[in-house]
Amino acid sequence: MSNLRNVAVVGFAQAPIVTRDLHRTSQDMLYPQVRRALDECGVSRDDIDYQVAGSSDYIDGRPFGFVMALDVMGSWPPRQDLHVEMDAAFAAYYAWLRMQAGDCDTAIVCGYGKSSEGDLDRVLNLQLDPFYFGAIGLDPVATSALQASAFMEHSKKSDHDFAAIAARNRAAGVRNPDALLREVADPEVLSESEWVTGPLRRGYMSPYGETAVCLVLAAEGKAEAMCDRPAWIHGLDQRIEMQNIGARNLATSAGAQLATQKALAMAGLTAVKDCDFVELSATNPAEEMILCQAMDIDPEEERPVINPSGGPMCGNPIMMTGLIRLGEVFRQLSGRAGDHAVAGAQRGLAHAASGHCLQQNLVFVCGSERRWT
Amino acid sequence: MSQPPETPIKYIESAIRLPYHHVAGDYRARYLRALRDKKILGSRCAATGKVFVPPIMSAPHSFAPADEFVELADRGVVTTYCVVNIPVIGREVELPYVAASVALDGADISIFAMLQECKAEEARMGMRVEAVWKPDGERTGDHTDILYFRPTGEPDAPRASFINRL
């Protein structure tokens, strides 16, 4: 592979995830995080070439809702800007592309959205086609349950396996001050929690939440001055599968598999076990196991550590869950992970997803050293 | 089976109903509460001193916080206007009426206001206007607490005093 530009995550700011912030609009929540991220990098807003955000107008509850955020992102003098109606991790992907094109060296990537202000399950139903899947009322809870059921049949995994995974994530979340759920949960208790939609129980679901995040990307030459320990992007890939849920094998994730293989190849690696940890956008235990299978991760092995932050099962702020995974990789590799630090972490993988049943997958592989010389 | 239906299906019902409960946010909540007491609040930019109304957490131009609340006059100057010949839905107004941008005294950006007690041909930039409030006991902390603005009869403000507050 020909040389690409070395681009790194150099800053990340996130407010703790809450169920509902009664005192701030999404703009009010975002502004302090943009300021914090820039302060952390020791730069002013004018030092940033490009701005990009991920959010959803349907979550904001107004058409063109994303333009509201421009006022708190420092959009003066007039800036180069892009918005994606996807998890903000995909916005980071586009900022990386712009840097490869060579037309910017620094970017802020913002994610926001107050999912508590609307009815999220109804909103996410609208991702489906209006003639059939949407019309029959499928929402992410139902489609996740269909996927979990297909996976159980395929893998012979049990309710107990689900409980163990949920409990492991919850135990990790205790050490992450930004997590929404921060109490240890006994797997026995989780496996007795009420059914939401079988085979998924309340204790296995990711609780929706809201926050605001700002991540800073910089290319080699700028990154070093902005961060003592940048998290260099070694490889990344993004794959989407067809919309028709019935046409996909829900027990597997071909998209996550291919995206991981391609990202590893770009990173010059052959297996995810070469990473010290992974941060997966797994919103329930079945998704986590499907992703592990797709990425060829053996959860029994010591490495990679899976979701040291507690992952989405300890808080799922829609539109930001994926970008937070990349932010967590930065925290680990830059020595900013505090109590949930993975000892000696040199390489990490961040995974983001959008759509029902892992329809879209994005994988970043990052390392503490530059990829290309 | 393979033939399309003789009578085409013209449409499918696909009504979308999405309820939202927006949080006003503390800045806007304080502004709305103050209207109940016939007060108009703004917030001042920590970097430039510019005053925004309604109050906002940060200044869009300077990117600095705008967290100092200031009370503004309920009168100001017309900075630009238009003449409206179509009725306001759900509201009795005499047509045509004047819709204006009004820079309140002490504010650096203008708000939007309906002018009444003012003939369209008399409206002009620089005209001094004041708020007409709902009576005491009827204000609820809502934008409609100000019924409209009307001319004060004071001499017009010089152009230089409002040209940067459009």
B56 interaction partners in chain A (CB closer than 8 Å): 71
Does residue B64 sit at the A interface (CB-CB below 8 Å)? no
Task: Please state the ipTM of this predicted complex.
Answer: 0.91
pTM: 0.96
User: Residue A197 burial by CB count (10 A; 0-12/13-18/19+): exposed, middle or buried?
Assistant: middle
Check if B67 contacts A (Cβ < 8 Å). no
Contact A76 B63 (CB under 8 A): yes
Tell me the Ramachandran region of residue A74: left when phi exceeds 0, alpha when psi lies from -120 to 50, beta otherwise: left
Query: Is residue B20 within 8 angstroms of chain A, CB to CB?
Result: yes
Residue-wise pLDDT for A279-301, tens only, equals 999 999 999 999 999 999 999 99
Contact list in A for residue B21 (CB cut-off 8 A) is: 117-118
**How many angstroms separate the CA of residue A22 from the nearest CA in chain B?**
6
Domain spans of chain A, in order of start: 7-117+208-226
Instruction: Residue B27: list chain A partners with CB under 8 A.
Output: 28
Q: What residues of chain A lie within 8 A of the CB of B20, using their CB?
A: 61, 117-118
What is the arithmetic mean of pLDDT over A91-101? 98
Q: What pLDDT shows up at residue B145?
A: 97
Assess contact for A171 and A336: CB atoms under 8 A. Answer: no
E-assigned strand segments in chain A = 7-14, 50-54, 80-84, 106-113, 195-197, 200-201, 211-219, 231-240, 277-279, 305-306, 347-354, 360-367
Give the per-residue pLDDT at B8.
84
User: Across residues B133-152, what is the average pLDDT?
Assistant: 96
A35: which chain B residues are within 8 Å (Cβ-Cβ)? 63
Yes or no, beta carbons of B20 and A117 under 8 Å apart? yes
Share in percent of chain A as helix, strand, coil (round to 5) = 40, 20, 40
Distance CA A244, CA B96 (A): 54
Dmax (CA) for chain B in angstroms is 81
Nearest chain A residue to B12 by CA: give it: A131
- Give residue-wise pLDDT tens across range A123-177: 999 999 988 999 999 999 999 999 999 999 999 999 999 999 999 999 999 999 9
Report whether pLDDT(B90) > 90.
no
Rg (CA), chain B: 22
Q: What's the whole-number average pLDDT of chain B?
A: 94
Cβ pair B61:A122 closer than 8 A: no
Query: What is the per-residue pLDDT for A1?
Result: 54
**Which residue of chain A comes nearest to B22, CA vs CA?**
A117
Q: How far is B2 from chain A (nearest CA, A)?
A: 19
Interface test with A, best of B58, B61, B67 (most A CBs within 10 A): B58
Q: Looking at chain B from residue 24 to 43, which residues have their Cβ under 8 Å from any Cβ of chain A?
A: 24-28
- Say whether pLDDT at B52 is over 70: yes
Asked if the model's pLDDT at residue B95 lies above 90, the reply is no
Please name the CATH architecture into which domain A7-117+208-226 falls: 3-Layer(aba) Sandwich (3.40)
Q: How far is B20 from chain A (nearest CA, A)?
A: 4
Nearest-CA distance A228 → chain B (Å):
25
Give the residue on A whose Cα is nearest the Cα of B30: A23
Residue A234 pLDDT > 70, yes or no? yes
Task: Identify the DSSP state of A316.
Answer: B
For A19-51, letters b (16+ CB in 10 Å) and e give eebeebbbbbbbbbbbbbbbebbebebebbbbb
CA end-to-end span of chain A: 13
Widest CA span in chain A:
58
What pLDDT, on a 0 to 100 scale, did the predictor assign at position B165?
Answer: 87
pLDDT for the residue A51: 98
Strands B68-72 and B40-44: antiparallel
* pLDDT the model gives residue B156: 98
d(C-alpha A316, C-alpha A195), whole Å: 19
Residue A109 contacts residue A323 (beta carbons within 8 Å):
yes
State the average pLDDT over residues B47-62.
96
Give the gyration radius of chain A's Cα atoms: 19
Sort A324 into a burial class: Cβ within 10 Å, 0-12 / 13-18 / 19+.
buried
Q: Which residues contact B106 (CB under 8 A, 6 or more apart)?
A: B42, B51, B70, B71, B72, B73
Q: For residue B1, is pLDDT > 80?
A: no
* pLDDT (0 to 100) of residue B50: 97
Residue B88: what pLDDT?
82
Q: Which residues of B touch A70 (CB under 8 A)?
A: 60
Percent of chain B whose predicted confidence (pLDDT) is above 90: 83
The closest CB to that of B20, out of A23, A27, A61, belongs to: A61
pLDDT value for A191: 97
Residue A2's pLDDT band (cuts 50, 70, 90): low
8 Å CB contact between A286 and A147: yes
Contact A119 B61 (CB under 8 A): no
Among candidates A72, A74, A117 on the partner chain, residue whose Cβ is nearest the Cβ of B21: A117
The answer on pLDDT for A100 being more than 60 is yes
A10-28 confidence digits (pLDDT tens): 999 999 999 999 999 999 9
Q: What is the pLDDT of residue B84?
A: 94
